[in-house]
Amino acid sequence: MVLKGKSVFGGIAIGTLRIYEKKDHIIKRRRVTDVLEEETRFLAAKEEAKRQLAELYEKALKEVGETGAAIFEIHQMMLDDPDYLEAVCSMIKTQEVNAEFAAASTGDNFSQMFAAMEDAYMRERAADVKDISNRVISILQGGGAGAMEAEEPFILLADDLAPSETVQMDKSKVLSFVTRGGSTNSHTAILARTMNIPALIGVDIPEELGQEVVVGIVDGYQGILYIHPDEETLARYQRLKEAEEQKRRLLKELKGKETVTLDGRKINLYANIGGVSDVAEALANDAGGIGLFRSEFLYLESEDYPTEETQFAAYKTVAEAMAGKKVIIRTLDIGADKQVDYFHLEKEENPAMGYRAIRICLDRKELFKTQLRAIYRASYYGSISVMFPMIISVEEIRQIKEVIEEVKAELLRDGIPYQEVEIGIMIETPAAVMISDLLAEEVDFFSIGTNDLTQYTLAIDRQNANLDRFYDAHHEAVLRMLQMVVDNGHKGGCWVGICGELGADTALTETFLRMGFDEISVSPSMVLKVREKIRSINCNSSAISSPVGESCLHE
């Protein structure tokens, strides 16, 4: 059975499902003769409830921190609310009823009042009033609140959960919360976020589930609860969960650690991003910088040419967010698989080998200058480098430098601050590889785009899925080219990196290090995996023979 709900926290949980049965209080209306004594009984129960809540506050503080615990302070305050107290006491006195009944009726009335309010926050307080009333009633009846005991971890299913119910649970056993009711800001949701476990609300949990042992899966990314999943689904989610656990482990073990080999060689391990919104992922995965900012996404996401201001704002935000760490912005790389309508590019027979990237920029100087002005202006706010895609000649670099000089002169004239920017090129055509010795004289760094370099070297269209069987990411020709670029780059005084997908292939990490790469830039989610690999490598040992022969033993 597959049930859809709303996810309030992501993640995957696999385990047995357990339904939380609320302890129902059966309240009988009783007539009392000594109303004063009944009132005293109520006030004593209220004090005991406050004492219990203070205990719960301390427990929650230890387990889920201040934010999660705060609700128990609020509950203590609510118990002292003059309106609430007066309502209960007056009911006892005027109607001569027992304290349990007065507390339950007042709890219901207040709860209905809150539930009818417009303000979403106030509406959610309805459950709190119920919760505190139930606590007082429970004390008056001489019972404790029901806790949920279990040997094995489980996925908890419930109508809704009050904070006092969740805090009394053995949370080490709860894999996930799934509730019929609740809201994004309900306490269950807050608790799930604090505990870092997936949670769903608004799930139509079938009544007949009862207490039998049933396996379930919670997909907190897609808001799905699987009950009795088939073997294939179970296996798929087990794989996803393992990958997630690996990621968590890597984060715990490797966040903040250096990217350094066993023999002490440091590597710059950076992340590839497509825009401002990816920076958080890069930082969360502890990237040492941004090795490739695919700036064309600013153009692809927009209906018209992004203005200098729009681009400046994006580049500045990334530079500032990376706080002095290197940010390599690649200038516009459209054409081929990345088409933008408002560029009105002619349809081509063979767009991958067509009018794209730097070819367009050098033809449409104003467009190019707008981007470069934005990049240079942003350079003032961090550590920005610029690199150019699809280079095939020295002449192109000379032209680029002319435009850069014009831009710098204009900024100087206009009194706009900028810093000197490191200039690099993507090496992603066989032509660039073959003349990398000449290109190295012109720039500060190389970054190898193996996606395109492999496509052009092996003559395999990267967009054509039918050619996958011919595609060999480890092809000797490509590996030899990488070595050639590193050697030529270093001879010409350039640092050399790799920013194509191959950079994240940990089967080649050691080869890259032995080749002499200075930098590797990968998708944010791959940063820590590659770091783990690099930290396990000893480049001094001769244990691995490089796939490209002697010349690979660079160091």
- Could you say which of ligand PEP, Mg ion, none residue 499 binds, taking C-beta under 5 to 8 angstroms by partner kind? ligand PEP
Near ligand PEP in 37-66, by CB under 6 A: none
Q: Where would I find the beta strands (DSSP E) of 368-505? A: 383-388, 422-427, 445-448, 495-498
Half-sphere exposure of 68 (CA within 13 A, CB side): 23
Backbone angles phi, psi at 99, to 5 degrees: -60, -40
CB of 489 to Mg ion, least distance (A): 18
Compose the 450-479 pattern: x for residues touching ligand PEP by CB under 6 A, - for all others.
xxx---------------------------
Report the residue from 46, 75, 294, 529 that binds ligand PEP according to the rule CB under 6 A: 294
Considering beta carbons, is residue 294 or 533 the nearer one to ligand PEP? 294
- How many other C-beta atoms are found inside a 10 Å radius of the C-beta of residue 308? 16
By the rule CB under 6 A, 356 interacts with ligand PEP: no
Considering beta carbons, is residue 205 or 499 the nearer one to ligand PEP? 499
- How many other C-beta atoms are found inside a 10 Å radius of the C-beta of residue 345? 16
Q: Is 499 one of the catalytic residues?
A: yes
As to burial, measured by CB atoms within 10 angstroms (0-12 exposed, 13-18 middle, 19+ buried), residue 220 is: buried
Find all residues with CB under 8 Å of 203, minimum gap 6, and list them.
3, 4, 5, 157, 178, 179, 180, 225
Span of 4-12, 262-270, 380-388, 423-431 interacting with Mg ion by CB under 5 A: 423-431
The tokens describing 356, both together, are: 């794209």
Q: Could you tell me which of 320, 323, 322 has the C-alpha nearest to residue 290?
A: 322
Considering beta carbons, is residue 191 or 271 the nearer one to ligand PEP? 271
- Could you say which of Mg ion, ligand PEP, none residue 450 binds, taking C-beta under 5 to 8 angstroms by partner kind? ligand PEP
CB of 504 to Mg ion, least distance (A): 15
Backbone angles phi, psi at 390, to 5 degrees: 60, 35
Considering beta carbons, is residue 131 or 428 the nearer one to ligand PEP? 428
Considering beta carbons, is residue 227 or 352 the nearer one to Mg ion? 352
Span of 119-127, 203-211, 412-420, 449-457 interacting with ligand PEP by CB under 6 A: 449-457
Considering beta carbons, is residue 45 or 427 the nearer one to Mg ion? 427
Q: Could you tell me which of 198, 234, 204, 202 has the C-alpha nearest to residue 218?
A: 198
Number of residues located near ligand PEP, criterion CB under 6 A: 10
Report the residue from 223, 288, 449, 524 that binds Mg ion according to the rule CB under 5 A: 449
Per annotation, catalytic residue among 89, 361, 494, 499 = 499
| Helix spans in 96-182 (H) | 99-115, 120-140, 163-167
- Could you say which of ligand PEP, Mg ion, none residue 500 binds, taking C-beta under 5 to 8 angstroms by partner kind? ligand PEP
By the rule CB under 6 A, 499 interacts with ligand PEP: yes
The tokens describing 325, both together, are: 């760490």
Near ligand PEP in 394-433, by CB under 6 A: 428
Instruction: Report DSSP state, residue 208.
Output: G
Backbone angles phi, psi at 309, to 5 degrees: -65, -45
- No. of H helices and E strands in the chain? 19, 16
Report the residue from 198, 229, 306, 449 that binds ligand PEP according to the rule CB under 6 A: 449
CB of 337 to ligand PEP, least distance (A): 8
- DSSP lists the bridge partners of residue 166 as none
Span of 106-114, 116-124, 369-377, 444-452 interacting with ligand PEP by CB under 6 A: 444-452
- Could you say which of Mg ion, ligand PEP, none residue 377 binds, taking C-beta under 5 to 8 angstroms by partner kind? none
145 three-state secondary structure: coil
By the rule CB under 5 A, 291 interacts with Mg ion: no
**What are the strands of the beta sheet with 6-9, ordered from one edge?**
2-4, 224-227, 215-219, 12-19, 154-158, 174-179, 199-201, 6-9
Per annotation, catalytic residue among 187, 361, 494, 552 = 187
Span of 140-148, 216-224, 450-458, 542-550 interacting with Mg ion by CB under 5 A: 450-458
Considering beta carbons, is residue 449 or 489 the nearer one to Mg ion? 449
By the rule CB under 5 A, 452 interacts with Mg ion: yes
CB of 520 to ligand PEP, least distance (A): 12
CB of 294 to ligand PEP, least distance (A): 5
Considering beta carbons, is residue 19 or 314 the nearer one to ligand PEP? 314
User: Which residue in the block uniquely carries the two structure tokens 């419930």?
Assistant: 158
Considering beta carbons, is residue 176 or 450 the nearer one to ligand PEP? 450
CB of 321 to ligand PEP, least distance (A): 21
Q: Could you tell me which of 383, 412, 386, 419 has the C-alpha nearest to residue 401?
A: 386
As to burial, measured by CB atoms within 10 angstroms (0-12 exposed, 13-18 middle, 19+ buried), residue 156 is: buried
By the rule CB under 5 A, 428 interacts with Mg ion: yes
Near ligand PEP in 333-352, by CB under 6 A: 333
Q: Could you tell me which of 55, 22, 527 has the C-alpha nearest to residue 281?
A: 527
Q: Is 361 one of the catalytic residues?
A: no
CB of 401 to Mg ion, least distance (A): 21
CB of 338 to ligand PEP, least distance (A): 8
Amino acid at 245: E
Q: Could you tell me which of 89, 134, 102 has the C-alpha nearest to residue 31?
A: 102
CB of 469 to Mg ion, least distance (A): 22
Q: Are strands 326-330 and 383-388 parallel, antiparallel or unpaired?
A: parallel
- Determine the Cα angle at 66 with ends 64 and 67, to 5°: 85
The site for ligand PEP (CB under 6 A) is made up of: 292, 294, 333, 428, 449-452, 499-500
Residues that bind Mg ion (CB under 5 A): 428, 449, 452
Catalytic residues, by residue number, are: 187, 499
